[in-house]
Amino acid sequence: MTTPEKPKALDSPITGTIIKWMSRANTAAYKVTGGRIGGKWRMGTKRFGDDVPDVGILTTIGRKTGEPRETPLLFLREGDRVILVASQGGRSGHPMWYLNLRANPKVTFRIRNEVLALRSRDATEAERADYWPKLDAMYPDFANYRAWADREIAIIICDP
pLDDT above 80 (res 49): no
Q: Is 7 exposed, middle or buried (0-12, 13-18, 19+ CB in 10 A)?
A: middle
pLDDT above 70 (res 73): yes
pLDDT above 70 (res 45): no
pTM: 0.86
Yes or no: say if 61 and 100 are a contact pair by the CB < 8 Å rule: yes
pLDDT value, residue 98: 97
Beta partners for residue 120, in sequence order: 158
